[in-house]
């Protein structure tokens, strides 16, 4: 019987590579074949680098043959969200304005992948400049949820989540500004982690909102996320906001959690993140998971974080403000799209025409919002007030973490909705991130773990675990425990029906 290496976890592939049961070239080829077979309907990738990935795989195999692998994950292929700069590979951020741009440098996290020997399969689809919760705002077409191709895979990192869910890659990198790793994880039945702000370098991440963005792992298991997180994390002198201290032991925490014992762990359910508008099937699966945590020995209490109800409004002032300034550099002067409105047009006219043609509607909406929020006379009322509320949200977290070790909630209020369903209603779209945004505002880490399928639609539900800043290990311990107990209950992982993908 042949082994389908695409069905294996990254940890299993790493073990098999170490044991000489398979080569990186075989594993990489298997994933490239899988991409060729299913990515038509899924459209998780914007760019596939078969040649580059196979060359890196061959180098990995040569190193291993020489007895000198670079890392435990040396040879395990990975997909990278198209918002991360990759030397020699196109980087579009899902936008027409960057069509054809090939960065001359690697993001620090990408450089770390290369230094560890992980073949890069390609770049994954995303909402334009990471603005969205459905990947429908990609200028290159939406990604489809492998569980139901008529539904969204979440966003902005729907490409990375769908690639991992559809077995096109064992690992992927995402970025999370308000839930762009965790919410796609929830709706595609995968694991997604937003590390502590400053825990992973942002150098080479094309900023959406600098004070909120974090790079993090997208995988099918909690252990795989821990392995990848340890690889990409740590201080980077090129990122002033990166934290200059070692990461807590994440893989160790995941292994400890996998024993299923949570004695002594105190868990808080966030009162404000449930209620009206939360899908019944989501709440049912959430409650079942909470019950499992209790069974594992955790003490569960309810904790109120009253300012969280203002998180969405706060976020939609801070994010557009930062984004409006970040996106100013896309002016056709040095790289990317250039539109000439007329022969002999001035630089200003070229900038205007290029930005008009190159940015999508959602991007324009947020540039206008942010420009307004920062304007003289409005700054204090909008941006200034938002920063104050942000501080209050951090204080709510601090108070909550004095009572409990971790906070939990459903990752998203609903399961995956239909493509197009919320495209004309930005507020409805924004509400998807209600539960994930507070962590970004406060800089604390969070993980989304699959919690089963909602009874009413058979679609995946995510369980979110939040921990204090720098205590990412708690997310892994509790997440791995829940994962182990659920797998035991289910008798194996829940995977999207294969017939969907053909």
Partner 1 sequence: MTDTLVAFDDVLASYDPAMGLEVHVELNTVTKMFCGCPTEFGAEPNTQVCPTCLGLPGAMPVVNGKAVESAIRIGLALNCDIAEWCRFARKNYFYPDMPKNFQTSQYDEPIAFEGFMDVDVDGETFRVEIERAHMEEDTGKATHVGGATGRIHGADHSLIDYNRAGIPLIEIVTKPILGAGAKAPDVARAYVSQLRDLIVALGVSEARMDQGNLRADVNLSLSPKGSGTLGTRSETKNVNSFRSVERAVRYEMSRHAAVLDAGEKVLQETRHWHEDTGVTTSGREKSDAEDYRYFPEPDLVPVAPSREWVEELRGTLPENPVAKRARLQGDWGYTDLEMRDVVAAGVVGLIEETVAAGASPQAARKWWLSELGRRANDAGVDITDLGVAPAQVAAVQALVDGGSLNDKLARQVFDGLLAGEGTPEEVVAARGLAIVSDEGALSAAVDGAIAANPDVADKIRDGKVAAAGALIGAVMKEMRGQADAGRVRELILEKLS
* Segment interacting with partner 1, rule: CB under 8 A, options 23-31, 35-43, 328-336, 423-431: 328-336
Among positions 402-441, residues that touch partner 1 (CB under 8 A) are none
The contacts of residue 408 (CB under 8 Å, 6+ apart) are 267, 268, 269, 270, 286, 289, 290, 293, 463, 464, 465, 466, 478
Active site residue 81: yes
Q: Does 359 interact with partner 1 (rule: CB under 8 A)?
A: no
* Contact flag: residue 335 with partner 1 (CB under 8 A): yes
| Among 65, 291, 379, 488, interactor with partner 1 by CB under 8 A | 379
- Shortest Cβ distance from residue 279 to partner 1 (Å)? 34
Count other Cβ atoms within 10 Å, centred on residue 144: 26
The residue ranges of DSSP E strands in 388-485, in sequence order, are 406-410, 446-453, 460-466
Tokens read off for 46: 């914007």
For the CB of residue 121, give the shortest distance to partner 1 in the complex, in Å: 20
- Count of residues near partner 1 by CB under 8 A: 44
Report yes or no: 439 and 445 within 8 Å, Cβ to Cβ: yes
Q: Which stretch binds partner 1 (CB under 8 A): 31-39, 104-112, 160-168, 176-184?
A: 104-112
Q: Give the span between the Cα atoms of 365 and 355, in whole angstroms.
A: 13
**Count of Cβ atoms closer than 10 Å to residue 377 Cβ:** 6
At closest approach, how far in Å is the CB of 236 from partner 1?
9
Nearest 10 degrees: Cα torsion 63, 67, 71, 74: 40
From the list 155-163, 206-214, 395-403, 405-413, the region that binds partner 1 by CB under 8 A is 206-214
Contact 324/367 with Cβ under 8 angstroms?
Answer: yes
**Conformation bin of residue 88: beta by default, left when phi > 0, alpha when psi is -120 to 50:** left
The interface region with partner 1, picked from 28-36, 60-68, 322-330, 444-452 by CB under 8 A, is 322-330
Annotated catalytic residue within 81, 96, 112, 422: 81
Q: Does 128 engage in binding with partner 1 (CB under 8 A)?
A: no
Q: How far is CA 119 from the centre of its chain?
A: 20
348 is a site residue for partner 1 (CB under 8 A): yes
Min CB(333)–partner 1 separation in Å: 5
Q: Is position 91 an interface residue for partner 1 (rule: CB under 8 A)?
A: yes
Residue among 209, 270, 400, 407 that touches partner 1 (CB under 8 A):
209
Query: For residue 412, which of 444, 347, 377, 460 has the smallest C-alpha distance?
Result: 460
Q: Which of 117, 132, 192, 204 is in the footprint of partner 1 by CB under 8 A?
A: 204
Q: Give the integer Cα–Cα distance in Å for 278 and 257.
A: 28
Note whether 115 binds partner 1 by CB under 8 A.
no
374 binds partner 1 (CB under 8 A): yes
Nearer to partner 1 by Cβ, of 51 and 244: the residue is: 244
Beta-carbon contacts of 381 under 8 Å, excluding residues fewer than 6 positions away, are none
Tell me which of 95, 133, 138, 180 is the catalytic residue. Answer: 180
Report yes or no: 119 and 169 within 8 Å, Cβ to Cβ. Answer: no
Which of these ranges, 295-303, 368-376, 423-431, 472-480, lies near partner 1 under the rule CB under 8 A?
368-376
Q: Is 340 in the site for partner 1 (CB under 8 A)?
A: no
Answer whether 372's CB lies under 8 Å from 420's CB.
no
Residues, the chain: 502
Pairing of strands 266-270, 78-81: unpaired
What is the distance between the alpha carbons of residues 312 and 431, in angstroms, rounded to a whole number?
A: 8
442 in contact with partner 1 (CB under 8 A): no
Interface with partner 1 (CB under 8 A), residue from 295, 329, 364, 418: 329
- 225-264 residues near partner 1, rule: CB under 8 A: 237-241
Q: Does 491 bind partner 1 (CB under 8 A)?
A: no
Task: Name the phi and psi angles at 194, rounded to 5.
Answer: -105, 110
Question: Toward partner 1, which CB reaches closer, 257 or 443?
Answer: 443
Helices marked H in 378-464: 385-403, 426-430, 437-442
* Active-site annotation holds for 156: yes
Can you point out the beta strands (E) in 199-314?
214-219, 266-270, 299-303
Q: Is 305 in the site for partner 1 (CB under 8 A)?
A: no
Smaller CB separation from partner 1, 204 or 410: 204
User: Is there a catalytic annotation at residue 112?
Assistant: no
Residues near partner 1 (CB under 8 A): 84-85, 91, 93, 98, 101, 103-105, 107, 202-207, 209-211, 237-241, 321-322, 324-325, 328-331, 333-335, 347-348, 351, 371, 374-376, 379, 383
Q: Which residues are marked as active site?
A: 81, 156, 180
């Amino acid at each position: 019987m042949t082994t389908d290496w695409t069905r294996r976890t990254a940890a299993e592939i790493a073990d098999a590579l170490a044991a000489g049961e398979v080569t990186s070239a075989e594993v990489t080829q298997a994933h490239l074949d899988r991409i060729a077979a299913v990515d038509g309907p899924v459209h998780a990738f914007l760019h596939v680098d078969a040649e580059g990935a196979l060359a890196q795989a061959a180098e990995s195999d040569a190193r291993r043959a020489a007895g000198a692998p670079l890392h435990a994950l040396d040879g395990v292929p990975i997909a990278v969200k198209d918002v991360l700069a990759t030397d020699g590979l196109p980087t579009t951020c899902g936008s027409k304005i960057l069509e054809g741009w090939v960065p001359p440098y690697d993001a620090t996290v990408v450089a770390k992948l290369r230094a560890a020997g992980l073949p890069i399969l390609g770049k994954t689809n995303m909402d334009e400049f990471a603005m969205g919760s459905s990947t429908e705002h990609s200028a290159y077409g939406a990604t489809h949820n492998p569980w139901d191709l008529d539904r969204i895979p979440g966003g902005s990192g729907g490409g990375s989540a769908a690639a991992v869910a559809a077995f096109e890659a064992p690992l992927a990198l995402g970025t999370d500004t308000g839930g762009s790793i965790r919410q796609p994880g929830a709706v595609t039945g995968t694991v997604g982690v937003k590390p502590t702000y400053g825990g992973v370098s942002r150098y080479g991440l094309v900023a959406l909102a600098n004070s909120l963005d974090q790079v993090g792992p997208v995988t099918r298991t909690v252990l795989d996320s821990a392995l990848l997180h340890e690889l990409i994390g740590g201080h980077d002198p090129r990122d002033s906001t990166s934290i200059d201290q070692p990461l807590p032991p994440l893989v160790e925490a995941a292994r400890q959690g996998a024993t299923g014992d949570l004695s002594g762990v105190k868990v808080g359910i966030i009162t404000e993140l449930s209620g009206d508008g939360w899908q019944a099937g989501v709440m049912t699966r959430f409650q079942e998971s909470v019950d499992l945590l209790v069974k594992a020995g955790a003490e569960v209490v309810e904790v109120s974080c009253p300012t969280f109800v203002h998180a969405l409004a706060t976020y939609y002032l801070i994010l557009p403000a930062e984004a409006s300034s970040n996106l100013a550099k896309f002016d056709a002067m040095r790289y990317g799209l250039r539109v000439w409105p007329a022969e002999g047009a001035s630089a200003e006219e070229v900038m205007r025409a290029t930005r008009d043609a190159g940015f999508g509607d959602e991007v324009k909406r947020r540039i206008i919002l942010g420009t307004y929020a920062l304007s003289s006379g409005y700054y204090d009322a909008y941006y200034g007030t938002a920063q104050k509320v942000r501080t209050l949200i951090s204080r709510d977290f601090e108070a909550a973490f004095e009572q409990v070790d971790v906070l939990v909630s459903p990752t998203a209020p609903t399961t995956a909705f239909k493509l197009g369903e919320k495209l004309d209603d930005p507020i409805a779209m924004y509400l998807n991130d209600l539960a994930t945004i507070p962590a970004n505002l406060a800089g604390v880490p969070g993980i989304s773990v699959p919690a089963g399928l909602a009874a009413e639609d058979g679609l995946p539900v995510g369980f979110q675990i939040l921990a204090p800043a720098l205590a990412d290990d708690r997310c892994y311990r509790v997440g791995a425990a829940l994962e182990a107990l659920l797998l035991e209950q289910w008798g194996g992982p829940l995977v999207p029906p294969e017939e969907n993908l053909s």
